[in-house]
Amino acid sequence: MNGTDTGFVRGHIPTSPADPFSVDSIINAQREDGALREQGPAVYFTRHDMIGIFRYDAVKAILGDWRGFSSKDRPFNDAMNAVPQILVTDDPPEHGRIRAILMQFFTPVQMQAVRDQFVVVAERIVDQALACEGTLDAVSDIARPFIMDAFPDMLGLPDNGRSDLLMFGEAIFNGVGPRTEFFYDSMKRCEPGFRWVTENTTRDKVKPGGLAARTYELADKGQISDEEADLLVKTMLGAGFDTTIASIGNCLYALAANPDQWALLHNDPTLAKKAFEEAMRFDPPARMMGRVVTENAVVQGIPFHKGDKIGLFLNAAGRDPARYDNPEQFDIMRKLANIGFGSGIHQCLGQALARLEGEVMLSVLARRVKQIEPAGPGERLINNNIQAWTKAPVRLHAA
């Protein structure tokens, strides 16, 4: 807590020398974050000079209070933070101005307009998956090719070299954590991703009619500046690939591990929306969101000092037994108040798009696949903030 008032910390908030960003903690985040949640509503990590918040009510309250808990600063916010400095790092009035302008691209009506093209892509991906005999990977054979085809087309990006986009997203989300060895390895390995984005998201490279071109047109109309347009295109890229791939992959692997839930979905594909929402609670793609305290405050009994850096752990909040019955059970019939996309004014701008992509893929699979089952242990992605499987072996049985 600013590194000085240790009496305040030790007297009111449990302190811990633990590292929630160690490789073991990342691989076993659900277990580790759950254990930290049981220590109390907040934990001060001496290693990182950061307060972790793990309980649902506190996380939701803080996410909803942009005045007291600003997005302009956060833990690990230094010169190596690759997050584009716009929208998610702004507070009102700038945040509201830009968000209102962009919302015209992400309304339910606009999202419905692209649904048909998403269905075509999803059906092709599922056809290819069912044509393969034996073990498939829910990530590399289903989630990733679906998003890497559908989303860049919507943005209007060049076709060549799109796979490098994954490196860009990986590095951005690794920046939401300490400067560890795997962080530096990631930044070096992902240099081609930054180069591709720099070279292929300019006004002259994006395709007419796509979301990127329409964003640059907002600058032509004087609604935003040229610099803001460039940053917004990169923001959409950074937020729209890795997390959506993770969301769909996490959901499929959870469904494979819970055959009763897949049976419900197969018998009623209209439950695809509910299945995707439950996956966002059960295994959310973003593990943590960061904030900085703007004034002394007490929230849910937790005392904060101005300048405190805090991390809001969505994974732990989504499995808080004080909020959900049987939180460790994957249940697509659950009634949810989901914070997997955040809450308040900074909730994910593209959530309508992510939900549509998830619903389309799950509903196509539900109609075409009678059973999905695990085909071996999965492997977790080592990333400071993306919760995902790098390998999620499954078997599909056609309906």
> Cβ distance 262 to 362 under 8 Å?
no
The sign of the torsion formed by the CA atoms of 71, 2, 35, 62 equals negative
Q: Buried b / exposed e across 113-152, counting CB within 10 Å, b at 16+?
A: ebeeebeebbbebbeebbeeeeebbbbbbbbbbbbbbbbb
- Environment class of 27 (CB within 10 Å of its CB; exposed 0-12, middle 13-18, buried 19+): middle
Strand partners, 311: 52, 290
Question: What are the C-alpha distances in Å from 398 to residues 74, 179, 275, 308, 334?
Answer: 47, 45, 20, 53, 27
Q: Which residues contact 254 (CB under 8 A, 6 or more apart)?
A: 261, 278, 279, 282, 283, 330
The sign of the torsion formed by the CA atoms of 96, 99, 103, 106 equals negative
Q: Which residues contact 303 (CB under 8 A, 6 or more apart)?
A: 8, 12, 13, 296, 297
Residue 271 has what DSSP assignment?
A: G
pTM exceeds 0.75: yes
Strand partners, 393: 137
- Joined together, the tokens standing for residue 17 give 């020398």
Residue 41 has what DSSP assignment?
A: S
Residue 110's SS3 state is helix
| Helix 242-256 and helix 272-282, axial crossing angle in degrees, nearest 10 | 100
Q: Which fold has domain 6-398?
A: Cytochrome p450 (1.10.630)
Q: In what order do the strands lie in the sheet with 69-70?
A: 15-16, 42-45, 50-53, 309-313, 288-293, 69-70
From first to last of its 399 residues, the chain has per-residue pLDDT tens of 443 333 344 347 888 999 999 999 999 999 999 999 998 889 999 999 999 999 999 999 999 898 999 988 889 988 777 665 555 555 666 766 777 777 777 777 777 778 888 999 999 999 999 998 889 999 999 999 999 888 888 889 888 888 887 888 788 888 888 998 888 888 888 888 888 888 988 999 999 988 899 999 999 999 888 988 888 888 777 666 788 899 999 999 999 999 999 999 999 999 999 999 999 999 999 999 999 999 999 999 899 999 999 999 999 999 999 999 999 999 999 987 777 776 665 566 667 788 889 999 999 999 999 999 999 999 999 999 999 999 999 999 999
